[in-house]
Amino acid sequence: MGVYEVMEEAVRLLLIEKGILTDAEIAAQIDLIDSRSPALGAKVVARAWTDAAFKQRLLADCRAALMEMQIDIGQIAEFKVVENTPETHNVIVCTLCSCYPKLLLGIPPAWYKNLAYRSRTVVDPRGVLAEFGVKVPKSQEVRVHDSTADLRYIVLPMRPKGTEKLDEPALAALVSRDAMIGTAIPTYA
C-alpha cells in the first residue's frame, strides 16, 4: 500500500470514528464521482448550442441551469462557464494542484494534473494549445482561467459550422472532454 492509500484510509477511518461521515456516505460519494463522465458535460454543451435561452442561463448561473437538466454538481465549489467566441478562446488550468469539475466531466486527464501543463499554460498558452493541435489565430485572444478549490470552470466551445440540422445527441457526440477544457475544438466533417 502506497503513502496516499495509507493517508486516505487513515482520514476515512477518522471521519467515520468521529461520526462526521458514515462508510455508506463515503461509498455513495465515490460511486457518484465514478458515475460521472465527459458525456454529461457534452449534453450540457449540446443543449446550450440548441437553446439560446438555456445558454444565457448557463452563462449567468451554471449551477441553476444544470439543475434544470437534473445535474447536481454539489456545493463544494462555484462553477463558471466561459464561452469561446470568434474573438476569444478560453483554456482551463489549475496552477496549484488539479482542481477540476469532476461532477460534470468525470475524472481529469493525467496531463491536466501534470506540472508542465499547469505551469506552461499560464506562461505560453498558445504554445501549449499548439501542442494539443489547437492553432489559435493571432486575432483571437487566449484567456487562461485558473481553477481553484472554490471556483471551477468549464469551456462552452463554439458550435461547429454545418451542424444546424443535428439534434442534441448528435451534437453531444462532437464534444470531447478536452473541448470543455479548451485544449480541443469540436469539428464536424
Is the confidence at residue 29, as pLDDT, over 80?
A: no
* 35 — pLDDT class (breaks 50, 70, 90): confident
pLDDT of residue 75: 81
Q: Which helix (H) or strand (E) holds 89?
A: strand 88-93
**For 49-67, what is the mean pLDDT?**
97
How does pLDDT run across 111-123, given as a tens digit for each residue? 999 999 999 999 9
Who's near 4: CB < 8 A, 6+ residues apart?
A: none
What is the structure's pLDDT at 166? 98
Residues 141-187 pLDDT 10s = 999 999 998 999 999 999 999 999 999 999 999 999 999 999 999 99
User: Helix, strand, or coil here: 80?
Assistant: strand
- Alpha-carbon span 173 to 39, nearest angstrom: 8
- Domains located in the chain, CATH noted: 3-32 (no CATH), 37-181 (3.90.330.10)
Active site positions, annotated:
94, 97-99
Predicted confidence at residue 183, as pLDDT, reads: 98
Question: How would residue 8 be classed by pLDDT, with cut points 50, 70 and 90?
Answer: confident
Q: What does pTM read for this prediction?
A: 0.86
- Calculate the dihedral angle through the C-alpha atoms of 83, 121, 183, 114, rounding to the nearest 10 degrees: -130
